[in-house]
Amino acid sequence: MAVGQLPKSLGNCPSTDHLVTARATSDHIPIATTIELDLITPEIRKFLIKHGSEEESAFLTSVIGSFSKLAQDPSTPEEVDAVAQAIADTFGSAWDANTTEACIVTELKPWWDWGCKDNFDRYQMSQDPTDWATFAAL
């Protein structure tokens, strides 16, 4: 391999000339990797309680009901710790019982659901017009 040439495996980089000159006085050539980010669609999930929903009312009722059972005036550090833990447990259990899971993606529309996603993924893998028709009918 001639000086200043990159191996063929690195020849597919968008531009390799600047890598050789970027080494300056170093005896190492920087390695560059290009990742097509537009091909990656991350699936972001979150748990939520919609404002004004029955789940919100149930969450608040559960939290308020549990607070009435707590010690009113903790006087020792152990009692304070116990009350703090009870508050955390109350919020945690009420949250777990009343939240729904939502998927946040760029394709999210009011009508988009897991059935749409599954059918669209099936079409992308097969490129079959029948699979497209199934997806488009949703």
Give the pLDDT score at 88: 94
Is 88 part of a structural domain of the chain? no
Is 52 part of a structural domain of the chain? no
Q: Evaluate if residue 16 carries a pLDDT over 80.
A: no
Inter-residue contact 89 to 97 (CB < 8 Å): no
Is 7 part of a structural domain of the chain? yes
Is 114 part of a structural domain of the chain? no
Q: Please provide the average confidence, as pLDDT, over all residues in the chain.
A: 79
Is 138 part of a structural domain of the chain? no
Q: Which residue has the higher pLDDT, 61 or 27?
A: 61
Give the pLDDT score at 1: 46
Is 97 part of a structural domain of the chain? no
Give the domain extent around 13.
1-34
Rounded to whole angstroms, how far apart are CA atoms 15 and 97?
Answer: 54
